Each structure stands twice: as C-alpha cells, then as structure tokens.
Amino acid sequence: MKKFFARSHSLFINLLFGMGVILFLCMGSLAYFSISYVNRTIINNVMSEADRFNNTIKLGTHYSMMSNMRDDITQIIRNIASQENIEHIRIYHKGGQIKFSNKDEEVGTIADINNYACAICHQLTPPPSVLGLQERTRIFSSAGQRFLGIVTPIYNEPGCSSASCHAHSPDATVLGTLDTVISLHEVDREIHFLEQIFSSFIILIFLVTSILIVLYLFRFVSQPVKKMITGTQMIANGEFFNPGTVDRNDEMGRLASAISRMGEEIARQQNELLRTNAELVKTNRELQELSNTDALTRLCNRRFLLETLTKEYRRARRYGHELSVLMIDADHFKQVNDRHGHLCGDTVLISIADTLKKTVRNTDLVARYGGEEMIVLLPETGREQAIRIAEKLRKEIASSVIPCDDEQISITVSIGVAAYPENNVADPMLLVEAADLAMYKAKKTGRNKVGYHNTDTTMVVDSAEKEKEKIR
C-alpha cells in the first residue's frame, strides 16, 4: 500500500483509496459479524425447535412404551418421519441396538458405540445421564447436504422394569435414547437468502456511501485543485486563465485569487501577442497566395500548377482514375500586341483568364503556363468529357467582346486535349507535351479549334459535327 501511495500522483486518488479501504473494512466486518450472528441465531432456534420436536415424539410414544405396544411405537415413528425434512427417527437401547426406526432395515442392528448418537454419552466414562442441548446436538454433512441430529435420553420410570418389557434394573437411570435427524436444506436456503439480502444491503450502503464520498472529494478537493493546476499551466504557457469560479474563503480561494490577479496582469501582453500573431498569419497567407498566383491574370502560376499536376497524376495512377489536361493558346495574339499595344494584350489575357475561371468546375485548376498559354487541369475527367469542356471554353471565349482603347475586339483560342490513361505516360510533363501537340495541331488546321492527342495519333475535333451530335 505504501508503494501505491508513493507512486500515485493524484491527491484525489490517494484520498479516495484510503477512505475506500477504511469503509470497505468497516462494512466487511459489519457484514461478517452480522451474518455470523444471524446464522448462529437461526441454528440455535432450529436446535430448540428440534429439541421440542424430540420431546413431543417421546411424549407421543410414552404410553405405547409403557404398555410395550411395539407396533404402535413403530407406526407413530413412521407417521412422524413422513413429514418433510425428517430423515431419521431411531430409538436405541442402552447397549446401542436400534429398537425402533422409520427404516425397517435398521431395526435390530447395533450401532458402533463410538459413533453416531452413542458417542455423545459414551465418550465419557461413566456416561453422563444429563446433557445440555448443545452437547446433545450435532450438525454433519452427507451427499452435499447438511443435517442436524439431536439426541433425547429416555429415562427409567416406574413400570419400565417389569418382566413383560425390557426387564431393566430398577436402578438404571437412562434406558436408551431417541435420535432424530432433520435435514437443514430449507434452513440453509433461508440462511442463504438472508445472507444475499444482507450482503446486497451492505453493498448498496457501501456504493451509496462511496458515491457520496467521491462527490464530496470531487466537489471540494479534486475540482478546485485541478482548476488551480490548469490555471498555473495555462499561465506558464502564456495563456490567459481566470479561475473565478472557485469562490471560497479558505486557502484554495486565496490561491485562486492570486492566480486570477496574475492572469489579469499578463492579459494585456497576451492579447498584444495574439494580435501580432494574427497579423503575421494573415501576411504569411497573402505571401503564400502571391507565391502561387500569376500577378497579371490572378490565375495559379506555373510552379503551383506543376506541383498540383504531379500530385493528381500520382493519385490517378495509383487508384486507376482519369485525368485530363487542356493546353489553351490565344490565336494571333502577337497581332493584338502589335496593333493595339501590350496593355490591350494584357487586357485580353485577363479576359480569357476570367472566362476560364467562371466556366470550369470548382474542382478544376486554371493556371497561366507562360506568355499567352494557359492550362486547365481536369481531375477525374476522361477524354470525351474533356473535349466537351474544351469546346465550351472555346465558344465562350470566341463569343466574348473585349473593350480595348475605345474599341471592341474579339479573340479566339486553340485548345489541345490530352487524357490519362489513354496517354499512358510515365511522367506528368509528357501529358502536358501531348496536350501541347494537340493544341498546335488545332492551330495548323485553321485555329479556333480543339485537338486531342493519344498514344498513336493527334486529331482535331470537328466542331460542326459536334453541333450536329448535340442537335440529334
């Protein structure tokens, strides 16, 4: 137990364990002595009842014995023995021979003088003629069941020494014994039932008392101490803590007030640190966005695109998913710059970027690859769906009117499509190269078109045929 208290670092556990052990020992002792007392009382009552029962049998057979009416005695014994819980009724004479019994096979047999009921008297020399109730009673077990045996002496009376009966000497005091054996099965059941009830009551009292002790210790010891520990730890970590809930006038209350004042003292510095930290987090987030964003179009930049492309390619390759890349290039963009100037060219790029962002899905990624080239990354998308998306983007851009230097200009794009796993490439950059090949194929066949590339061929989508399919 000393080792337990030495190793335990919880005041609540130590107090609870100590009080629990004391309570358990007290309740256990109470239960033991109470149950023992109940057992003794019940057995003593049974012994007294058995003694009265034996005297009743002796009185019931007294007339028949005095009249030497053996058949009547046997019948009386059988009738009484037929009652519940009566195992044996025997009448011994002084020499140990069974003269009457509820079992015919025992009549006439001689019992060992040192065993059974005979030993009660014959263990002493000379055998006593008077014994107390405790000395005349025995409790023994047989076949897993307890029995109570009680012996009542049959004394010599006037008329018992006639020749017609036993012809005992007139000086004999004890002529024999009446031995009755009673089953304690029902008594044991009652004792067991009472033990269960009393044990349950003791356990209930123990549990209720334990709960009250736990609640008391938790409310007035453990909870305040934990709050103080929490407060000091939070202050040590630079956090604010106000243990104002501990409203007490004892030492714990004064400790709580001291911690509260200490927390208030550092609150201003803590809040200042929090504000500074929030500003730093915001600045870092903006810097992160700037490092991943193209300054002109506000699209993702090439570095972030390549990082995301690598992750999506590995995921598609591992789980067998689809992945498509669209390479988009503005048609005749150099002429726009030469005719309208680079500022107008920038406006055109911004317009194309805005159209791409508002047309694609939230799960897609739009990035500026370089110059007038842009890429759309389409996770979980096969070739046919990617071609449909590319066609939609091409039409949206071609139908847009861009204001530039008091003029309204239009521009078209050529789009290359490459899909995985149709292009079963070993490197994600090869998928970009395949989309680039498809885009240049679209430019060579007239621009403002969508081309696609697979492992074997590079082809251009027939927009007119797509429109017919859509109508059909």
H or E stretch at 263: helix 251-292
Residues 320-337 pLDDT 10s: 999 999 999 999 999 999
User: In terms of residues, how long is the chain?
Assistant: 472
pTM score of the predicted model? 0.45
Question: Residue 293 has what DSSP assignment?
Answer: B
CA pair distance 184, 165, nearest whole angstrom: 36
Beta strands in 41-115 (DSSP E): 86-93, 98-101
CA pair distance 406, 424, nearest whole angstrom: 49
Q: What tokens were used for 232? A: 């000091």
What contacts 458, CB < 8 A, 6 or more positions away?
437, 438, 441, 451, 452
Task: Give the residues across from 378 on adjacent strands.
Answer: 324
- Helices 342-359 and 333-340 cross at an angle (nearest 10°) of 140
Write down the pLDDT at residue 469.
Answer: 40
Rounded mean pLDDT of 445-465? 80
Judging by beta carbons within 10 Å of its beta carbon (0-12, 13-18, 19+), is residue 176 exposed, middle or buried?
Answer: buried
Residues 35-92 pLDDT 10s: 888 888 888 888 888 888 888 887 777 767 776 777 888 888 888 878 888 888 888 8
Residues 21-31 pLDDT 10s: 888 888 888 88
Which fold is adopted by the domain 302-471? Alpha-Beta Plaits (3.30.70)
Q: 49 or 441: whose pLDDT is higher?
A: 441
**Cis peptide bond N-terminal to 126, omega within 30:** yes
Task: Give ranges for CATH 3.30.70.270 in the chain.
Answer: 302-471
Q: Does domain 2-158+174-189 have CATH number 3.30.450.20?
A: yes
What contacts 238, CB < 8 A, 6 or more positions away?
266, 270, 273
**Residue pointed to by tokens 């002790």:** 213
Rounded mean pLDDT of 359-381? 94
- Comparing CA positions, the residue from 229, 250, 223, 224 lying closest to residue 241 is 229
Beta strands in 162-300 (DSSP E): 174-183
Q: Percent of the chain beyond pLDDT 90?
A: 31
CA pair distance 359, 352, nearest whole angstrom: 11
CA pair distance 432, 420, nearest whole angstrom: 11
What contacts 117, CB < 8 A, 6 or more positions away?
90, 92, 111, 138, 149, 151, 177, 179
Count how many Cα atoms sit within 13 Å of the Cα of residue 231 in the half-sphere of its side chain: 24
Residues 271-315 pLDDT 10s: 788 888 888 888 888 777 778 899 899 999 999 999 999 999 999
Please report the sign of the dihedral spanned by the C-alpha atoms of residue 130, residue 133, residue 134, residue 139: positive
Q: What tokens were used for 332? A: 């005749």
Helix (H, G, I), strand (E, B) or coil at 177: strand
pLDDT category at 464 given cuts 50, 70, 90 is very low
Examine the pLDDT at 106 and tell me if it is beyond 90. Answer: no
Write down the pLDDT at residue 241.
Answer: 61
What contacts 424, CB < 8 A, 6 or more positions away?
455
Rounded mean pLDDT of 159-175? 59
Task: Give ranges for CATH 3.30.450.20 in the chain.
Answer: 2-158+174-189
Q: What tokens were used for 375? A: 């890429």
- Comparing CA positions, the residue from 201, 218, 209 lying closest to residue 24 is 209
Please report the sign of the dihedral spanned by the C-alpha atoms of residue 46, residue 51, residue 55, residue 61: positive
Listing DSSP states for 31-55 in one string gives HHHHHHHHHHHHHHHHHHHHHHHHH
